[in-house]
Amino acid sequence: MSTASNPNHPSTPLPPLNSFPLDLSSLSPSVSASISAAYDASSSIKSAEDARASTFPFITGTIESPLYNDAYSAASLILGRGLVKEGRYVEALRALDLGMLRGGVEKWSDAYKEICLAAQEGKERGEGEAEGESGDGGDGGSGDDEGKREAQHAESESGDGGDGGSGDDVGKRKAQHASPSSPTKRARPCTPTMPPNLNGSGTPIPRISQASLPLSTFTSDYLTPSKPCVITLAEMPCPEWTFEGLRKRFGGRLVPVEVVDEKDRNQGYMGKSWDKEIMSFGGYLEEHVMGQGGGGKVGYLAQHPLLSQIPNLLSDLPSLPYTSALDSLDRNAPPSCEFRSSPLLSAWVGPSNTVSPLHNDPYHNLYLQVQGRKYVRIYGVESTEKVYPMKGERCNTSSVDIDNPDPTLHPLFPTAPYHEVILSPGDMLYIPRLSWHYVRAVEPAVNVSMWWGARMGLRESGGTFKPVY
């Protein structure tokens, strides 16, 4: 059933073309004219498909121009709106996902938001085409052959760091169940058990309940002195975000998954076999997370702006005041400094024993545990010399393999003090800006990270490392 003639079907207009994050004047005349014509005829699916096809010579093969990634995103947005208007919601979501992944989710999410919401909500109402008719595997599978061919166009070397979620250091990533009608009170955490190869002697990270931690205390006792803490939430966050719940509701959406060979599991994004593949969310969950088998491959949906790509998820997040906390470095940041007044939200969804190697991040970070458990180890900035940062563009990553440290290569590392914790659902860890941290999933897990404040890095001076804007 098409909703094109349904008077009760909501009409979602496109945002103004001049508000798109795209400079039409920089495109070739033919591509620019094609996109403008498609926008003017926004109900014409054929015009939008022609506009998208006009970008292919510039984003595939031996010719690739980042500017045309945005042209593809613009055409995909116009196409998605046309498909929504006809009630072809599954096809619309596929087109919208491919467009955002090509140009960068964070860059395009504002322009895409209303159309994405309309498409997802129409699909969930059961309007439009029958489920499965558009090849999304009943919303749980890996999609049809056409979708796989289209997905090849979504791999992006530009935008926000290959769509890893931050557009900065994450670009260096080579750089139980609650009833939704009655929120469950936070369950007692599972008894912490250290992963077998990480039986350390670190200092436990202090825990404090959300009810006992006003914003002023969080700022003065933890954020300003760069001390980690675990905030225990009063209620379980995002109770509908079970693996099966995510698969059923969003299984047909396309997501970028980091993949490594099993032998490189402990190296994560530093593994020699590291790659990124576009696959359906449901197919990824079934193969790599729920089934725990990826044909000798380990998949990880890591640091991806999933809540921007699927804005329906945003309303599930608890309201938290802590991302408004600032210290003197934030308040005195120069105008040239990149500053996040609203937090950058990234999702982490993966099987057990996925690893984020020891690294630091340029922002304040709250790390929310939604499903499963994770082990986290944190070294302070003062231990930077002892964790042996890599040189060059990977300077935010340690050269130490925490799972198998070599004292001959890194003799100072065993002397570096650290904090550690195992996070359970309902825990939220504050990771101070620029602190070195290592993360390993003890169980299949879902997390949300929240970055905010002034962007900073570490610079070596006189044998010591100091924060710089």
pLDDT of 90-138, one tens digit each?
Answer: 999 999 999 999 999 999 999 999 999 999 999 999 865 544 344 444 4
Q: Scanning the structure block, which residue is given the tokens 């491959």?
A: 297
CA 201, distance to chain mean position in Å, is 31
pLDDT of the residue at 454: 98
pLDDT of 27-36, one tens digit each?
Answer: 999 999 999 9
pLDDT of the residue at 107: 96
Return d(Cα 48, Cα 98) in angstroms, integer.
14
pLDDT of 260-311, one tens digit each?
Answer: 887 877 777 777 888 899 999 999 999 999 975 667 888 999 999 999 999 9
pLDDT of the residue at 378: 98
Element (H, E) at 437: strand 436-441
Distances (CA, A) of 340 to 428, 450, 454: 20, 10, 6
pLDDT at 145 over 80: no
Average pLDDT, the chain: 85
Inter-residue contact 51 to 37 (CB < 8 Å): yes
| Secondary structure percentages of the chain, helix, strand, coil, to 5 | 35, 20, 40
Element (H, E) at 300: strand 297-304
Return d(Cα 354, Cα 369) in angstroms, integer.
15
pLDDT of the residue at 42: 81
pLDDT of the residue at 156: 41
pLDDT of the residue at 233: 96
Give which of 456, 249, 216 is closest to 336, Cα–Cα.
456
Indicate the pairing of strand 419-423 with strand 374-379.
Answer: antiparallel
pLDDT of 369-427, one tens digit each?
Answer: 999 999 999 999 999 999 999 998 899 999 999 988 999 999 999 999 999 999 999 99
pLDDT of the residue at 294: 63
Return all residues near 76 (Cβ < 8 A) that are at least 6 apart.
48, 52, 95, 96, 98, 99, 100, 102
pLDDT of the residue at 297: 86
Return d(Cα 129, Cα 89) in angstroms, integer.
7
pLDDT of the residue at 360: 98
pLDDT of 413-431, one tens digit each?
Answer: 999 999 999 999 999 999 9
Give me 345's structure tokens.
């939200």
pLDDT of the residue at 253: 98
pLDDT of the residue at 293: 64
Give me 464's structure tokens.
């010591």
| DSSP string for 182-232 | SPPBPPPPPPP---GGG---PEEPPEEEGGG--HHHHIIIIITTT--EEEE
Return d(Cα 105, Cα 383) in angstroms, integer.
35
Give which of 217, 231, 246 is closest to 186, Cα–Cα.
231
| Angle CA 175–446–425, to nearest 5 | 130
Lowest mean pLDDT among 110-114, 161-165, 310-314: 161-165
Return d(Cα 173, Cα 175) in angstroms, integer.
3
Return d(Cα 368, Cα 347) in angstroms, integer.
10
Return d(Cα 247, Cα 133) in angstroms, integer.
18
Distances (CA, A) of 28 to 67, 68, 73, 355: 10, 9, 16, 43
pLDDT of 317-363, one tens digit each?
Answer: 998 899 999 999 999 999 999 999 999 999 999 999 899 999 999 99
Inter-residue contact 49 to 82 (CB < 8 Å): no
> In 3-state terms, what secondary structure has residue 255?
strand
Inter-residue contact 154 to 279 (CB < 8 Å): no
Inter-residue contact 439 to 356 (CB < 8 Å): yes
pLDDT of the residue at 10: 55
pLDDT of the residue at 130: 43
pLDDT of 179-228, one tens digit each?
Answer: 333 333 443 344 445 555 566 689 999 999 999 999 999 999 999 999 99
pLDDT of the residue at 137: 41
pLDDT of the residue at 129: 53
Q: List residues bridging with 339 in a β-sheet.
A: 454
Give which of 295, 431, 450, 294 is closest to 370, Cα–Cα.
450
